[in-house]
Structure formats: structure tokens, C-alpha cells
Structure 1
Amino acid sequence: MEQEQTVENESKPSSVKSEAWEWIKALLIAGGLVFIIRTFIFSPFIVEGPSMEPNFHTSERLIVNKILYDFRAPQRGEVIVFHATEDKDYIKRVIALPGEKVRVEGDKVFVNNQQLDEPWLKQALDDAAKKGIPYNTRNFAEKTVTEGSVFVMGDNRSNSADSRDIGFIEYDRIVGRADIIFWPMKDLKWIH
């Protein structure tokens, strides 16, 4: 009987060490996965400022897909996050693609001399028209988007530092596409 008790006592410290080692391995793997996912695949982003209203608001938190543009180029209408300066990222909407001619005249945006349909601004444009005021007060003379770049604008056209000010956005400055608003919870949605 004593011998059995001794065997049980000897195995307990070993099982505690084994369980602790399993927890350490699990935490290291989880930490590694979080690092890989945040560095290469998805990243959180916080909206700052009014430049994307009425569709995005200050303090909303987004999930940015960082890997998508490794497989394909940005497309018109997508909302992207990019490095505006060395320490500042912006969120804007892709309006024109490489090689396209773009110009802005009041509330109308033209790409290759065709007025762009912007369903994401329909309500804001209709509201401004009902009040008899222009939604956009900043025009842009026609230019051709350079290769490897996009022309971006904020949804709040009169109050946005975008390609009209900072120029075309090169692909290598793009962090990724905004895919999900996840905070606040009442605004949780996929971004189309």
C-alpha cells in the first residue's frame, strides 16, 4: 500500500510540469498565430475624423484585409487604408484605376468621360439637392491616373484630404481593404 502511494506522489509533480509545458506551448502557438494574422492577413484600424462620413464615423473600428491586394489590384468603390505619411494612415474610397482619366465637377465625378454611379453617396447627394446646396464644393481638373496607382476620395467630399490634395496613391502604400466594421457593436457590418 505504501509503495502505491509513493508512485502516485512521484507522478504528480511530473504531471504538473507536463501540464504547465502544454499551456506554455499553447500560449506560444496562439501568440505566434496572432502575430502572423495581424502582420500579414488582417489588422484593426480606427477611423479618425469626418472625411468618410456619412458611411464611416470617428472611433469606428474596422478589420482591414491586408493580404487581398497581394492577389489582385484594388477595384473601384472599395474602401482602402493606406499610408498617407510615415506615421499616419488614411481611409478613402477608390474612385479611378491606373490609366483612367478622372475629373470632379461639383457633385459629379467622371471617369473616362462617363459620370460615375456612386450608390454609397446616393442619400447624401439627394439630401444636399433637397436643401439646394452642393454636396461637394471642391473640383478636380482632369488627370490620368499613373500606372501602379489609384485615385481616392473621401465620402465627405468637401471635407476630405484625398487624391485631389495628396495625389495618386501607389499600390505599395496601400495597407489593405476595409472589410468589416466591428465596433461599436450596433454598427457591426460587412463593408460592400
Structure 2
Amino acid sequence: MYKLMNSNTKKEVKSWAKSIIIALGIAAAVKTFLFAPYIVKGASMEPTLHNQEKIFVNKLDDFNRGDIVIIKGKEVNYVKRVIGLPGDTVLVKDDQLYINGKYMKEPYLSHNRKLAEQMDSKLTGDYGPITVPQHKVFVMGDNRLHSMDSRNGLGFIPENEIVGKSEFVFFPFSQVRETK
């Protein structure tokens, strides 16, 4: 025989169902508008970020020059570093980056620069000068020898195609760190 639920049990089930629906709605809103996890695919940001690492992306905060961002692509998303902002003039000469005529230190490139020197090559190669159009940004990967970016395929990135900026690596757990 089937036991019928009493009214208290029905109220409790409805209350739980309502709580679960609200929680799922909040989680969906947070992921859509505030924060989201992304998986790094490829080696274009090595050694800063590695293939298959999971990063936490802040969709609220504005991005600045030097920030690592997620770019919404047609078929895939890209992870790159913002180099030039709207109106900036970007020049790379003798493996040195200049923004608006000012030399920019790029300490995140030291490992890759040493590897390029060992191969008797330049890491970035000469490029520019080019001026970044309004409402667009210029991006490059940290692994400049193996990165499709604004120099060679992606072109200038519309600001509205930037999903958010990377805050930290959260997986693998042994590699948890801020992304800078």
C-alpha cells in the first residue's frame, strides 16, 4: 500500500524544491554575469598558463594593459595578454616592446626570451608601429614564438569580445596561483 504524504511533508518538499531552483538561478546568473571558470587550451601563454589549467575569470572588473583576458571567438575562446589599449601606438623593435614611445618591461617573458636566445632567435620579432583603433585592443600570448594573436591572425580585438580577466589558476590544486 502507498502511504500518502501529510501536508507537512508536502510543504517541506516544496520548500526544498524552491530553494534548489533559486540556488540554480543564482549560480547561473553568477556564471553568466560575474565570474566563470575557463580551461586553458594550448601553449600560447606558457609559462604563465599551461595547457589544461583551469582559471577563474572575473567578468565584472575592467581590464588594463598587462592583464590576461579571455576573448570570445567564433568557434573557440582565446586567452591572451592585453598589450595595447585604444589609441595606443604599439612597436616592437629589437625584441623590446614600446607603447606610445615608452619602453615597457615584460618580466613574464624572461623564461621564453632565454629560450629564444638559445635558438639564436628573437622572441617577438620587429612589429609596427601600429595604432590601436578606438574600442579595440591589441593582444599577444606570452609564448610569442607559438602564439596566434593580434600580430598574426586575430587582429585587433573589439572590447566587447573580451569576456573577462583571469584572476587565478584554481586547478590543478598543486598549481593554485594568481595570474599576472
TM-score of the pair, normalised by structure 2:
0.90
1:81 aligns with 2:74: no
Give, as a single letter, the amino acid of the residue that structure 2 aligns with 1:162: D
Q: Please say which structure displays the higher CA radius of gyration.
A: 1
Q: Which residue of 2 aligns with 1:48?
A: 41
TM-score of the pair, normalised by structure 1:
0.84
The secondary structure found in structure 2 opposite 1:92 is: strand
How much does 1:137 deviate? 5.0
C-alpha contact (below 8 Å) 2:112/2:143 kept by paired residues: no
The secondary structure found in structure 1 opposite 2:77 is: strand
Percent of aligned pairs sharing the same letter: 37
How much does 1:159 deviate? 0.6
Distance 1:106 1:50, change over 3 A: farther
The secondary structure found in structure 1 opposite 2:80 is: strand
Superimposed CA distance per residue, residues 110-159 of structure 1 (whole angstroms, 9 cap, x where no aligned partner): 11122210122233324544x36335154322100111111100000011
Q: Provide the rounded CA distance (Å) in 2 between the counterparts of 1:139 and 1:20.
A: 66
1:33 aligns with 2:20: no
Aligned residue-pair number: 177
Distance 1:26 1:115, change over 3 A: same
Superimposed CA distance per residue, residues 154-178 of structure 1 (whole angstroms, 9 cap, x where no aligned partner): 0000110000022111111111101
Distance 1:17 1:112, change over 3 A: same
Q: Which runs of 5+ in 2 are unaligned?
A: none
Q: Which residue of 1 aligns with 2:121?
A: 134
Distance 1:137 1:144, change over 3 A: closer
Q: Provide the rounded CA distance (Å) in 1 between the counterparts of 2:119 and 2:101.
A: 26
Q: Which runs of 5+ in 1 are unaligned?
A: 1-9
Distance 1:65 1:137, change over 3 A: closer
RMSD: 2.0
